Amino acid sequence: MSSTTGTDRVKRGLADMLKGGVIMDVVTPEQARIAEDAGAVAVMALERVPADIRAQGGVARMSDPDLIEAIIAEVSIPVMAKARIGHFVEAQVLQALKVDYIDESEVLSPADYVHHIDKWPFTVPFVCGATNLGEALRRINEGAAMIRSKGEAGTGDVSEATKHIRTITAEIRALTALSKDELYVAAKELQAPYDLVAEIAGTGRLPVVLFTAGGVATPADAAMMMQLGADGVFVGSGIFKSGEPAKRAAAIVKATTFYDDPTVIAEVSRGLGEAMVGISVADVPAPHRLAERGW
Amino acid sequence: MTGPRVGVLALQGDVREHARVLAGLGADVVTVRRPEDLAGVDGLVLPGGESSVIDKLARAYGLRQPIRDAIASGLPVLGTCAGLILLADHVTGAIAGQETFGGLDITVRRNAFGSQAESFETDLDVPAFGGPPVHAAFIRAPLVERIGPGVRPLAVLPDGRIVAVQQGALLGTAFHPEVTGETRFHQRLLDAVATSTPVPGGAEGAPIPALTKLTP
């Protein structure tokens, strides 16, 4: 009997196994070890967390393969890494490095202002950001096996994450209330393929896992994202830009599992030291808002 | 009339997929995140996910010992992928300090096939089921490297490596029947529930003989 790798089912399936978990940005093998020990379900290997990319400016690219390999060697949980939007060769390199998931990410500088990567030919699955349902469906149509709402990375301000997860879930709910003959126009307005729109109108959920990202800095932030309907949480700068990363990481993991239990969230929120300082999204000038990258 | 009450350990992982299969088979499904959620449960599923994370949360919230006690007193349990690891008495490739519930006299290797690029789908013959082969999805899957004398292999890969086992009322698969529409493993769990005799006193049942041992 033959076996097949890189199927849609195993690509989407890995994201299913991450549900209810926290995926943490790490920039060194030591941070990856702290993240795994704290209960991360996966780590995102990168050279600079979004807060530093934002502070230092310049073009942000795929990380050094040596760094990615060192992080893969350090941990037993899945390792993700970022490619620039549209940079299919960075994605080919990440696949050759045997990362477990590729994040085609607005946090890096886009390599193509028209096209995203055609993700279907890859064996390794992709996660992509989205600010609304239409964007999520365009990414799924291109082969994304997991979606994360974008938020505004590197700010520590959760308001954009809230807006994006609320937008996506509200747009899904709205679709389920439409009659069959209204779905054609809905697809046109969402700028998304009709078949995906019709599927979601029937099931009431995305055909892939939906995480949230961008500005999550506290256990309560993570729990709020879960209560708003996220399947799990990405935490970028929020952990290793804080006073006590190991403690904060473990607390966010617990708050994600017990997201509907305020007693647990209160307990794990005690004595975490300083949260990342952050910047208010309102103070980020529009050209520097990462969430607007992606088409 | 309601079906048997089956818990799905819901600390992390593909809880929803298991709940859907069980509900489709007529079970009364409850999610288990606290020791008190185990009350009145006739069977338990340990889902796919990250075994190191589920273990950590189970210990932090006082679930490990109650689940060990329930297994010792004969509670039927199905574990898939991470769940198989959590049911194993011995694990290789575990992270430092990782523990399991134990119960299955087997040694399991974590991430036995490598990275996600090696994740695959295949058809498996399961002689115990008869009928058509099982369509199986292996996702960063573990493998059973050793089985004790009381353990029955239910499925093997073409090269003979063991990927599904049963020991008494405990069932484990290295793959994910819950994501391929395969219901026969869950049905087998429900069959075990139907024939099992509850041990009075539950927690005071026979202790698990071997301590969990893990090799990093």
ipTM of the prediction: 0.95
Q: For the segment A89-136, what is each residue's pLDDT rounded down to a tens digit?
A: 999 999 999 999 999 999 999 999 999 999 999 999 999 999 999 999
Q: For the segment A92-101, what is each residue's pLDDT rounded down to a tens digit?
A: 999 999 999 9
- For range B7-22, the mean pLDDT: 98
Q: What pLDDT score was predicted for residue B205?
A: 38
Structure token pair of residue B52: 């190191």
Q: For the segment A236-280, what is each residue's pLDDT rounded down to a tens digit?
A: 899 999 999 999 999 999 999 999 999 999 999 999 988 888 888
Chain B CB contacts of A42 under 8 Å are 50
Q: Does residue B51 surpass a pLDDT of 70?
A: yes
Size of interface A-B (CB pairs under 8 A): 126
Lowest mean pLDDT among A92-96, B110-114, B210-214: B210-214
Q: For the segment A175-206, what is each residue's pLDDT rounded down to a tens digit?
A: 999 999 999 999 999 999 999 999 999 999 99
User: Does an H or E element contain A42, and which?
Assistant: strand A42-45
Q: Is B35 on the interface with A (CB under 8 A)?
A: no
> Which of A4, A14, A19 is closest, CB to CB, to B116?
A14
Which of A7, A8, A9 should one mutate to test binding to chain B, selecting the residue with the greatest count of B CBs within 10 A?
A: A9
| E strand intervals along A133-193 | 146-149
Q: Do B122 and A18 touch (CB under 8 A)?
A: no
Q: Do B121 and A40 touch (CB under 8 A)?
A: no
Which of B12, B56, B81 should one mutate to test binding to chain A, selecting the residue with the greatest count of A CBs within 10 A?
A: B12
Structure token pair of residue A30: 């030591």
Reference B126, options B174, B192, B58, B62; nearest CA is B174
Show the domain range for B163: 5-215
Residue B125 sits in a domain of what CATH number? 3.40.50.880
Q: How far is B197 from chain A (nearest CA, A)?
A: 33
Q: For the segment B21-39, what is each residue's pLDDT rounded down to a tens digit?
A: 999 999 999 999 999 999 9
Q: What pLDDT score was predicted for residue B198?
A: 58
Q: How far is A5 from chain B (nearest CA, A)?
A: 4
Q: What is the pTM of this model?
A: 0.94
Q: Do B139 and A18 touch (CB under 8 A)?
A: no
> Which of A4, A21, A99 is closest, CB to CB, to B50?
A21
Rounded to whole angstroms, the Cα distance separating B143 from B133 reads 19
Reference B116, options B82, B96, B85, B139; nearest CA is B139
Q: What pLDDT score was predicted for residue B212?
A: 45
Q: Does residue A22 surpass a pLDDT of 60?
A: yes
Reference B38, options B12, B13, B73; nearest CA is B73
Q: Is A20 on the interface with B (CB under 8 A)?
A: yes
Structure token pair of residue B199: 């041990």
Q: For the segment B154-191, what is each residue's pLDDT rounded down to a tens digit?
A: 999 999 999 999 999 999 999 999 999 999 999 999 99
Active site residues of A: 82
Q: A-contacting residues of B 83-112, CB under 8 Å?
A: 93-96, 110-111
Alpha helices in chain B (DSSP H): 15-24, 51-60, 64-72, 82-87, 184-195
Q: Do B122 and A3 touch (CB under 8 A)?
A: yes
Number of domains in chain B: 1
> Which of B13, B15, B110 is closest, CB to CB, to A76?
B110
Per-residue CA distances from A293 to A35, A44, A281 (Å): 28, 20, 15
Q: For the segment A41-93, what is each residue's pLDDT rounded down to a tens digit?
A: 999 999 999 989 988 888 999 999 999 999 999 999 999 999 999 999 999 99
Cα nearest neighbour of A254 on chain B? B57
> Which of B95, B137, B140 is closest, CB to CB, to A36?
B95
